[in-house]
Structure 1
Amino acid sequence: MPSCPQCNQSISANTITCSYCGLELKAHGHPGIDLHRAQGDAYLCDSCTYHQDDSCTFPQRPQATTCTLYQDVTAAQERRLDVSEIYTIPRWRKYSGWIVLGVIVAISIVLVVI
Structure 2
Amino acid sequence: MPSCSKCKQPVDSQAVNCPHCNNPLKAFGHPGITLYQSEDNTWLCDRCIYHQDDTCNFPQRPYAQSCTLFHDLSIPLIPEIATPSSRQGWTGIKNWFYRYRGLVAIALLILFSVFLVLSSR
Instruction: Please give the TM-score of this superposition, normalised by the length of structure 2.
Output: 0.62
CA–CA distance in 1 between the matches of 2:41 and 2:12? Answer: 27
Q: List, as ranges, runs of 4+ consecutive aligned residues in structure 1 with deviation greater than 2 Å.
A: 77-83
Equivalenced residue count is: 83
* TM superposition shift of 1:6: 1.6
Q: Which residue of 2 aligns with 1:104?
A: none
Please list every run of 5 or more consecutive structure 2 residues that lacks an aligned counterpart in the other structure.
84-121
CA–CA distance in 2 between the matches of 1:52 and 1:16? Answer: 29
Q: Give the conservation status (yes or no) of the 8 Å contact 2:38–2:44.
A: yes
CA–CA distance in 2 between the matches of 1:13 and 1:77? Answer: 22
Deviation string for 1:39-87 (max 9, x for gaps)? Answer: 223211111111111011000000000000101111128943669xxxx
* TM superposition shift of 1:38: 1.2
Q: Which residue of 2 aligns with 1:56?
A: 56
Tell me which structure has the larger Cα radius of gyration.
2
* TM superposition shift of 1:11: 1.2
Deviation string for 1:6-35 (max 9, x for gaps)? Answer: 222221100000111110000000000000
- Residue 75 of structure 1 aligns to a residue whose secondary structure is coil
Q: Which residue of 1 aligns with 2:76?
A: 76
Please list every run of 5 or more consecutive structure 1 residues that lacks an aligned counterpart in the other structure.
84-114
Percent identity (aligned): 45
- Residue 46 of structure 1 aligns to a residue whose secondary structure is helix
Matches within 5 A, 1:1-114: 1-76=1-76, 79-80=79-80
CA–CA distance in 2 between the matches of 1:26 and 1:82? Answer: 33
Q: Which residue of 2 aligns with 1:94?
A: none
CA–CA distance in 1 between the matches of 2:75 and 2:32? Answer: 21
CA–CA distance in 2 between the matches of 1:37 and 1:61? Answer: 14
Instruction: Please give the TM-score of this superposition, normalised by the length of structure 1.
Output: 0.65
